[in-house]
């Protein structure tokens, strides 16, 4: 059975976590843009969106090329 | 240390599963399958769906109030509260926990159109009906010992209405000679009259005093009860800076008038004066608005505003410095000392017969809870008087109130909980509720609000209902673009 190193595993988990978070955020933003009040009142994540986007960018930029 | 790839792949899927779960949770909250969405607030912390009451000069800051309770205090009138609609729903029920402080009457309404001109205002609380002396029957409230049939009584002086209509009595009089009444009334008025010998016949002498137009218009509408019998638009003239327009006459005639109460609704702006009224009706009254005008440009004398009324509560206002005077209503009087400001006259006597209302200089707009006649023998009550914040049910000998009002549930320490349901337009994104507390400032009163709950309802979701809902959401989204 093939395997991967712990370091590679941690980076890829972080990558998928950030990518999924970014995709979720984009979906919610699109929903809120076209149907105002449909998303944000339930999540109250307005303040968290910039942080989430920064986190995604940070992980993607710093991830070693062979891990992406 | 190494991680087997199957385990690693499973771990990589977890964030995506979480993301899909969050989207699904948001969709379920946005489109509840039960068709019921509830939003509640105590105004602290702020709610995403219910905003505090405004304007700020009439309300306190939401939060902990000086006497320790949490909510918002209302000290002015009217105030409004906006709410975000969480999707297309059929109805909204507003439930409010409130405590009136020296405020006997409250009404709540919903603005129904985008322009804010159509308001559906209804009863919320009346202190006078809180007592066990009054019991609820179909159609309203009556004193203990009476039943619902009393609300259909022809003794209109013993009834009041609140946001309700009542059946009008079938009145008629014998033939009478034409009587002429010199008046100086400006603008729109409603005249209620009884047919004499099967005939409604009333002639108005009108004058348009606007010197900057020649094509003013007015409308006469004739009703029997709620049934509109006729509508006629007329040109009122006016002049181009050549003095007042000429006085002209307009006759309203309804032959073969069956017994009942008729209403002639004269609709115009305040630049059109009624200078005299001739009629064959023995009994006719004006109300609830009576606007005494002046005689400037018409005569060299001053005509006092003089009438007889069963009103117990009148609000008087003048728009001109020449109209500043002392106005009397029976044995009470009030000095109207500022223009564009309302002054209240409230009778405290227990009399049941009409009293005189007198404005020696004319030029005074009066709004009462009853009716006005220009001769005491012409007075009659076309319908029960309006319930107002100043109405004292027992002193005024009222034994029944026709109203859809439902008494709120009493809670502890003077708090109440009341509910009211409104129909919704599925395309509305925002709601604007209006809370009316008439006279709260003059009474130095307040209304404390500690909780507001909005319950939106529609049919439970079926697959077909889901599709219709999505279509409505897409239509709303398209209109917003």
Banded pLDDT at A4 (limits 50, 70, 90) = confident
Whole-number pLDDT of residue B26: 82
Three-state DSSP at B430 gives strand
Average pLDDT over residues B131-152: 91
Structure tokens at B227: 């049934």
Instruction: Give pLDDT tens digits for B382-431.
Output: 988 889 998 999 888 899 999 999 999 999 999 999 999 999 987 788 89
Three-state DSSP at B455 gives strand
Average pLDDT over residues B317-328: 93
Instruction: Check CB contact under 8 Å for A34 and B30.
Output: no
A7 has a chain B CB within 8 A of its CB: no
CA distance A10 to chain B (A): 9
- CA nearest to B30 within chain A: A38
How far is the C-alpha of B119 from the C-alpha of A7, rounded, in Å?
A: 66
**Out of A3, A17, A35, whose CB is closest to B473?**
A35
% of chain B residues with pLDDT over 90: 58
Three-state DSSP at B251 gives strand
Query: How many other C-beta atoms can be found within 10 angstroms of the C-beta atom of residue B214?
Result: 15
How far is the C-alpha of B361 from the C-alpha of B479, rounded, in Å?
A: 55
How far is the C-alpha of B181 from the C-alpha of B275, rounded, in Å?
A: 9
Asked if B218 and B205 count as a contact pair (C-beta separation under 8 A), the reply is no
Instruction: Check CB contact under 8 Å for A13 and B12.
Output: yes
- Which of B474 and B185 is assigned the larger pLDDT? B185
- Closest Cα partner for B230 from B207, B210, B208, B202? B202
Per DSSP, which regions of B155-215 are E strands?
Answer: 159-161, 179-186, 189-193, 200-208
- Is 80 exceeded by the pLDDT of residue B117? no
CA distance B52 to chain A (A): 16
A47 has a chain B CB within 8 A of its CB: no
CA-to-CA dists, residue B264 to B128, B269, B372, B392, angstroms? 33, 16, 15, 30
Q: Model-level pTM? A: 0.75
**Out of A5, A19, A34, whose CB is closest to B2?**
A5
How far is the C-alpha of B23 from the C-alpha of B21, rounded, in Å?
A: 5
Whole-number pLDDT of residue B465: 79
Q: What is chain B's Cα-based Rg?
A: 28
Structure tokens at B238: 């006016």
Instruction: Give pLDDT tens digits for B396-408.
Output: 889 999 999 999 9
Banded pLDDT at B236 (limits 50, 70, 90) = confident
- CA nearest to B84 within chain A: A37
- Is 70 exceeded by the pLDDT of residue B299? no
A40 has a chain B CB within 8 A of its CB: yes
Contacts of A10 in chain B (CB under 8 A): none
Per-chain mean pLDDT for chain B: 89
- CA nearest to B4 within chain A: A3
**Out of A5, A20, A41, whose CB is closest to B15?**
A20
Residues with Cβ within 8 Å of residue A33, at least 6 apart in sequence: none
Instruction: Check CB contact under 8 Å for A21 and B15.
Output: yes
Three-state DSSP at B64 gives strand
Give residue ranges of B with CB < 8 Å to any A CB: 1-6, 8, 11-13, 15-16, 18-19, 22-23, 26, 29-30, 48-49, 84-87, 429, 473, 476-477, 480-481
Q: Give me the torsion for CA of B372, B373, B379, B382, rounded to 10°.
A: -50
Asked if B323 and B362 count as a contact pair (C-beta separation under 8 A), the reply is yes
- Is 90 exceeded by the pLDDT of residue B477? no
Name the DSSP letter for residue B327: E
> B148-166: buried (b, 16+ CB within 10 Å) or exposed (e) per residue?
eebbebeebbbbbbbbbeb
Whole-number pLDDT of residue B428: 80
**Out of B2, B48, B476, whose CB is closest to A4?**
B2
Cis-peptide into B11, omega within 30 deg:
no
CA distance B470 to chain A (A): 11
Instruction: Give pLDDT tens digits for B58-72.
Output: 999 999 999 899 999
Instruction: Check CB contact under 8 Å for B23 and A27.
Output: yes
Average pLDDT over residues B19-27: 85
Average pLDDT over residues B293-307: 75
- CA nearest to A44 within chain B: B48
CA distance A61 to chain B (A): 19
Instruction: Check CB contact under 8 Å for A9 and B11.
Output: yes
- Is 80 exceeded by the pLDDT of residue A44? no
Average pLDDT over residues B128-151: 91
């Amino acid at each position: 059975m093939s395997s991967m190193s712990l370091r590679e595993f941690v980076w890829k988990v972080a990558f998928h976590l950030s990518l999924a978070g970014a995709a979720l955020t984009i979906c919610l933003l699109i929903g809120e843009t076209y149907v105002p009040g449909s998303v944000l009142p339930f999540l109250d994540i307005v303040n968290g969106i910039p942080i989430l986007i920064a986190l995604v960018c940070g992980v993607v930029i710093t991830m070693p090329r062979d891990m992406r | 240390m190494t991680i087997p790839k199957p385990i690693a792949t499973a771990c990589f899927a977890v964030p995506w599963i979480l993301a899909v779960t969050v989207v699904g949770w948001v969709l379920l909250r946005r489109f509840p399958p039960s068709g019921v969405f509830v939003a509640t607030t105590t105004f602290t912390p702020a709610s995403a769906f219910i905003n505090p009451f405004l304007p700020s000069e009439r309300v306190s800051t939401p939060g902990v109030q000086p006497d320790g309770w949490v909510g918002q205090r209302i000290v002015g009138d009217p105030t409004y509260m906006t709410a975000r609609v969480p999707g297309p729903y059929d109805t909204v029920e507003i439930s409010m926990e409130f405590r009136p402080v020296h405020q006997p009457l409250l009404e709540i309404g919903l603005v129904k159109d985008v322009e804010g001109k159509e308001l559906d205002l209804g009863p919320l609380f009346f202190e006078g009906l809180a007592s066990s002396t009054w019991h609820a029957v179909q159609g309203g409230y009556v004193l203990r010992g009476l039943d619902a049939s009393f609300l259909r009584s022809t003794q209109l002086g013993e009834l009041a209405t609140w946001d309700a209509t009542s059946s009008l009595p079938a009145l008629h009089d014998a033939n009478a000679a034409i009587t002429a009444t010199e008046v100086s009334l400006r603008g729109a008025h409603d005249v209620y009259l009884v047919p004499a010998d099967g005939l409604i016949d009333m002639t108005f002498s009108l004058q348009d005093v606007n010197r900057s137009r020649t094509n003013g218009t007015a409308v006469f509408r004739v009703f029997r009860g709620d049934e509109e019998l006729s509508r006629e638009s007329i040109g009122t003239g006016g002049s181009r800076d050549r003095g007042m327009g000429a006085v002209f006459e307009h006759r309203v005639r309804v032959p073969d008038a069956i017994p009942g109460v008729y209403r002639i609704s004269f609709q115009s702006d305040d630049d059109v004066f009624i200078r005299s009224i001739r009629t064959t009706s023995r009994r006719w009254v004006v109300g609830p608005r009576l606007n005494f005008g002046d005689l400037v440009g018409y005569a060299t004398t001053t005509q006092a505003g003089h009438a007889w009324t069963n009103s117990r509560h009148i609000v008087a206002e003048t728009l001109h410095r020449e109209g500043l005077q002392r106005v009397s209503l029976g044995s009470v009087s009030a000095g109207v000392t500022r223009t564009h400001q309302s002054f209240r006259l409230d009778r405290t006597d227990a009399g049941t017969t009409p009293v005189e209302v007198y404005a020696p200089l004319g030029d005074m707009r009066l709004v009462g809870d009853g009716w006005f006649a220009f001769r005491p023998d012409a007075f009659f009550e076309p319908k029960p008087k309006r319930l107002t914040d100043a109405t004292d049910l027992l002193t005024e000998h009222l034994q029944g109130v026709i109203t859809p009002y439902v008494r709120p549930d009493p809670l502890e320490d003077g708090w109440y909980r009341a509910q009211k349901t409104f129909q919704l337009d599925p395309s509305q994104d925002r709601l604007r509720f209006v809370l009316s507390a008439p006279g709260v400032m003059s009474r130095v009163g307040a209304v404390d609000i500690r909780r507001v709950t909005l319950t939106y309802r529609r049919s439970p979701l079926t697959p077909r209902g889901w599709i219709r809902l999505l279509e409505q959401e897409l239509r709303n989204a398209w209109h917003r673009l």
